Amino acid sequence: MPSDDNAVSSNTTTDYYFDSYSHYGIHMEMLKDYHRTTSYRDAIWRNAYLFKNKVVLDVGCGTGILSMFAAKAGARKVIGVDCSTIAVQAREIVKANGFEDVITIIQGKVEDLQLDEKVDIIISEWMGYFLLYESMLNTVLYARDKWGVPGVKMFPDKANMHVCGVTDHQYIKERFDVWRNVQGIDFSYFKRLSFLEPLVDTVERSQIVTNMARLVSFDINTVKEAELSFKSEFALEAQSSRGRRGSAGRAEDVENDVCVHGLSVHFDTPFTAGHDVVVLDTTPLAPPTHWRQTVLYLFIL
C-alpha cells in the first residue's frame, strides 16, 4: 500500500509536542524527580483542608499522580485532562489505586473541555525549561478564566525567574572554540550561530561568579497571557575569587579576576494558596531537578 505523505505532513508542532508526552520515559523522569514530586505532594497534603469536598481540575495530568494526591487530600471530584495517549494509561493507574469513583481522566484539549460545574482548585505541573519554554501556562490560564470559580485556588500560584553569571572555560573550548579550525578549515561562521542555542544542564555551585538577580515574577491568579512576553532589566556584579600567591616562603592573599561566560536562568514556583507554603525551587544551589538550569552563553569573538 502506498504511503500517505499528506497524512504525515498534516501533523503540527502541537501534535508532536503532545506525542512526546505519550512516551513512558519522560513520565518516569518526572516521577523520579524527588523535589518536583514531593513539592506538589506536600503543597496538596499539608493544605488538605482546601481540598476537602472540592472540585479539582488537573491540567496536563500525565500519569495522574497529582490527581491522586488531590483525591487523597479529600477532593469530592477530580478531573484530569491530557492531550497525549498517556491519559489511557492514567485511567488504569487511577483504577488500580481505587480512585475511579473520584477521578475522571479525559484525553483531549482543555480548550475543548465540557464540564457540568466550575472547579474550585486548578493543579498543574505546567513549567518547562527556562520556566516558559514549551510550558502549558497559557492553557492553565485559559482553564482558570473558563472553568474556575471566583477565587479559584491555583497550585502553584506564583512563579519567579532568576539569573546569575557563570564561568565555564571547558565548555567554551569544546563547544565554541572548536569552530576556528576543523581539519585546517575555518568554520568561525558557525561559532556565532552556536551561541544562539541555550544549554540545558546542571550548573555547579563553583561555576557561579555573580550575585543572583530576579528576572520576572508572575502571579498565576491574575497574570494574562500577553504578560508572559516580557522585558527585564537586572544588574549582576562579578565576585572575584581569592587565592594564594607567593615565593621564597612568602605568601599573600590575592584577588583573581573571573570571566563571566554566560547567564544561568532558573525558576521557583511557590504554593502560597494555603496556610503551609511550599516552594519548588530549581536553583543551582539546591539538589538538581529534571529542569536543571538554562544557560545563555555570551558571544565571544
Cα–Cα distance for residue pair 45/51, rounded to 1 Å: 9
pLDDT tens digits for 277-290?
999 999 999 999 99
C-alpha cell at position 74: 479529600
Say yes or no to pLDDT of 32 above 80: yes
Q: What is the mean pLDDT of residues 62-86?
A: 98
- Tell me: the pLDDT tens digits for 196-234? 999 999 999 999 999 999 999 999 999 999 999 999 999
**Residue 29 confidence class, pLDDT cut points 50, 70, 90:** confident
Q: Are strands 250-256 and 241-247 parallel, antiparallel or unpaired?
A: antiparallel
- Predicted local distance difference test score (pLDDT) of residue 31: 80
Least confident span in 59-73, 90-104, 246-260: 246-260
Q: Is the pLDDT of residue 101 over 60?
A: yes
Residues 295, 204: Cα–Cα separation, whole Å: 12
Q: Is the pLDDT of residue 88 over 50?
A: yes
Is the pLDDT confidence value at 18 over 80? no
172-199 pLDDT tens trace? 988 898 898 999 999 999 988 999 999 9
Q: Which of 100, 117, 134, 204 is catalytic?
A: 134
Q: Which of 133, 140, 131, 31 is nearest to 86 (CA)?
A: 31
Does 134 qualify as catalytic in the annotation?
Answer: yes
From 134, 131, 95, select the one nearest 214 (Cα to Cα).
Answer: 131
Active site residue 237: no
Higher pLDDT, 9 or 278: 278
Query: What is the per-residue pLDDT for 248?
Result: 46
Segment 114-133, tens digit of pLDDT: 999 999 999 999 999 999 99
Indicate the burial class of 59 (C-beta count within 10 angstroms; 0-12, 13-18, 19 or more): buried
Contacts of 290 (CB under 8 A, 6+ apart): 29, 30, 32, 33, 36
Selection from 279, 264, 269, 136 nearest residue 201 by Cα: 264
Report how far residue 40's alpha carbon sits from residue 155's, in angstroms, rounded to the nearest whole number. 8
Q: Which helix (H) or strand (E) holds 36?
A: helix 34-45
Residue 24 is predicted with a pLDDT of 60
C-alpha cell at 38: 514531593
Residue 34's pLDDT band, with cuts at 50, 70 and 90, is very high
The DSSP secondary structure of 148-208, one letter per residue, reads: EEEEEEEES-EEEEEEEEE--HHHIIIIIGGGG-BTTB--HHHHHHHTTS-EEEPPPGGGE
Please report, in angstroms and rounded to a whole number, the separation of the first and last CA atoms in the chain: 54
Which three cell numbers mark 252? 599573600
Percentage of residues of the chain with pLDDT beyond 70: 85
Query: Do 239 and 259 contact (CB within 8 A), yes or no?
Result: no
Query: What value does the mean pLDDT take over residues 159-183?
Result: 93
Domain 11-297, CATH class in plain words: alpha beta
Confidence of residue 4 (pLDDT cuts 50, 70, 90): very low
Question: What per-residue confidence (pLDDT) applies to 3?
Answer: 41
- Average pLDDT score, the chain: 89
**CA dihedral sign, ordered 281, 284, 286, 290:** positive
CA dihedral 171, 174, 180, 186 (to 10 degrees): -130
Helix axes 65-72, 34-45, angle to 10 degrees: 30
> Over 60: is that where the pLDDT of 276 sits?
yes
